[in-house]
Structure 1
Amino acid sequence: MGGFSLEGRTALVTGGSRGIGGAIVELFAAHGAKVALCHLGDAAGAAELGERLRARGLAVAAIECDVASEQAVAAMTDWARAQLGHVDILVNCAGIGGDKAFADLTLAEWDRMIGVHLRGTFLVTHALFPEMVRRGWGRVINIASQLAYKGAPGLVHYCAAKAGIVGFTRALAYEGAPHGVTVNAIAPGPVETELLRGLSEEWRAMKQAQLPIGRFGNVDEIAPTALLLASPEGSFYVGQTLSPNGGDVMV
């Protein structure tokens, strides 16, 4: 297995049935973690991921959860504790997409985007962070986006939500680090997932033309960053946002 071992650790990945979350689930399980995931309306994807892991002698527990719902998150985190005993590593990866000009954006669309990304990150972390502090060890990894820094036309609601996650990460890192709990984020560039494929062809063409690398990324190019942050080798990262983004943002 080499370095970056997660042996003896437990992990919960929200939005973990496919895309970046699914790749993180597979990588964490392959490196020794006991993993649970939640999804929303993707039982088929969760089942397919479970089958792939079982074929490798690995396993994952899955449950449906809308992370924007306080009641649903309470039930899901109780379930995760029952499955795992406790949660050492939390990856907040649940997300939605969709592009629309700001003038046409409805309040309901704004609220849903903020609800899933930023409120969801708060709710799940709020349920599990105090236990990590009491145990003296934990990892919180939040999935943001390079668009938190760069912005993009048609994605005001998405960019605002992701920028909020970056700020959330930096602030909470101060509270966690003295107790052995690191809080960091990953801000991927555009990656071939259903979220990206759900955007308009015009937006995709515009975005690809901006990338120095000349292509979109794939999920297996993002998941190793989460493994680093979750592993002992990543213990000196505190309040950081790492950005595998194909050169879209260089900081």
Structure 2
Amino acid sequence: MSKKTVVITGSSRGIGRACAILFAKNNYNVIINYNKSKKLAEDLFNDLKEAGYSVDIFKADISNRFEANSLINHCIGKFGKIDVLINNAGISQNKLFTDITDDDWNEMMGTNLNGIFYTTQKALQYMLPECSGKIINISSIWGMVGGSSEVHYSTSKAAIIGMTKALAKELGPSNIQVNCIAPGVIQTDMLNGIDEDIIESLREETPLMRIGTVDDIANCALFLASDKSDFITGQVISPNGGFVI
């Protein structure tokens, strides 16, 4: 069986990095994408390459349509196809709604929402003729229930959920599945700077009594990318330890 190919946006660290490692170990061709975290991305690429895995690396700011298109085109040029697109790249910001500037809002929507629009639209140019493909969008529990002092972030993540459901209906007849992962509180850089008392409170509010790991999300993504999920589309799966039920 030939290797499947996955593009993972924002895969130099956090959830994206965990996905890149897991998919490489599960016999995928992996395109590692980064924008600003060059050294982290190169270190990941070198580690996986030296371990014998099929990986490549490409710098692209997915909020820019030209660069997003170039990312997908690079994948096709390198591996000849794209089977799975994981739209993971995103930014966050904690700020009162009344303090959010136009630049804050536009940057949030540009990366978290427009980026998915650009990469997905380009990937579909190659998936649609094959009548095959998996698109996995990374949202957040705050896209499901809203987060105080994160209105612009929550809005972008809620929009991803709406996009996922609508696109799943549109692409279903073409045998392309579109699903969404809405992680709960996960131990990533996004928790940096948050007071340990707050993190402990979040842990206590979680029925499973722990903060999630990036591997929890990567494992979910691997399932949604696999043949085992062929009858699942338009769904929002939220690995959150019971924090939101």
Instruction: Tell whether the structures are fold-level matches, with TM greater than 0.5.
Output: yes
SS where residue 244 of structure 2 aligns? coil
Q: Secondary structure at the match of 1:51?
A: helix
User: Which of 188, 199, 224 pairs up with 1:193?
Assistant: 188
For the Cα contact (< 8 Å) 1:99–1:154, is it kept in 2?
Answer: yes
Q: Which residue of 2 aligns with 1:3?
A: none
Q: Is it true that 1:50 corresponds to 2:45 in the alignment? A: yes
Flag the 1:64–1:199 CA change in 2: closer, same or farther, 3 A. Answer: farther
Question: Post-superposition, which runs of at least 4 consecutive aligned residues in structure 1 deviate over 2 A?
Answer: 198-215
Q: How has the CA–CA distance of structure 1 residues 75 and 25 changed in structure 2, closer, same or farther, with 3 Å as cutoff?
A: same
Residue 95 of structure 1 aligns with which residue? 90
Question: Does structure 1 residue 220 correspond to structure 2 residue 215?
Answer: yes
Instruction: Find the residue that maps to 1:152 and give its secondary structure.
Output: coil
> Hey, what does 1:21 align to over in structure 2?
16
Determine helix, strand or coil for the equivalent of 1:222: helix
Structure 1 contact 36–83 (Cα < 8 Å) conserved? no
Counterpart of 1:146, as a letter, is I
Secondary structure in structure 2 of the residue aligned to 1:165: helix
What is the Cα deviation at residue 204 of structure 1? Answer: 4.1
Which residue matches 2:176? 181
Contact 1:99 1:200 in 2 (8 A): no
Give the CA deviation at 1:70: 1.2
Q: 1:149-164 alignment to 2 at 5 Å?
A: 149-164=144-159
* Equivalent residue number for residue 170 of structure 1: 165
Q: Which of the residues 111, 133, 138 maps onto 1:116?
A: 111
2:164–2:178: 8 Å Cα contact kept in structure 1?
Answer: yes
Distance 1:113 1:201 in 2: 26
Alignment of 1:226-245 (within 5 A): 226-245=221-240
Q: Say if 2:144 and 2:158, in contact at 8 Å, map to a contact too.
A: yes
Normalised by the length of structure 1, the TM-score is 0.92
CA drift at 1:59: 3.4
8 Å Cα contact 1:186/1:243 also seen in 2 = yes
CA distance in 2: counterparts of 1:207 and 1:152, whole angstroms? 13
Call closer, same or farther: CA 1:55–1:101 in 2, change over 3 Å.
same
Rate the CA distance shift 1:37–1:83 in 2: closer, same or farther, 3 A. Answer: same
* Deviation per residue, 1:145-175 (Å, 9 max, x gap): 1111121111101110000000000000011
Q: Residue 98 of structure 2 aligns to a residue in which SS?
A: helix
2:200 and 2:92 mapped to 1: Cα distance? 17
Partner amino acid for 1:189? G
RMSD: 1.7
Q: Indicate conservation of the 8 Å contact 1:35/1:84, yes or no.
A: no
Give TM-score scaled by structure 2 length.
0.94
Q: CA deviation at 1:130?
A: 3.1
d(CA) in 2 for partners of 1:42 and 1:239?
Answer: 31
Q: AA paired with 2:166? A: A
Task: Find the aligned partners of 1:184 and 1:82 in 2 and give their Cα distance.
Answer: 26
Report the Cα distance in structure 2 between the residues aligned to 1:206 and 1:153, rounded to whole angstroms. Answer: 16
Contact 2:139–2:160 under 8 Å retained in 1: yes
| 5+ residue gaps, structure 1 | 1-5
For structure 2, list consecutive stretches of 5 or more residues without a partner in the other structure: none
Distance 2:68 2:193 in 1: 26
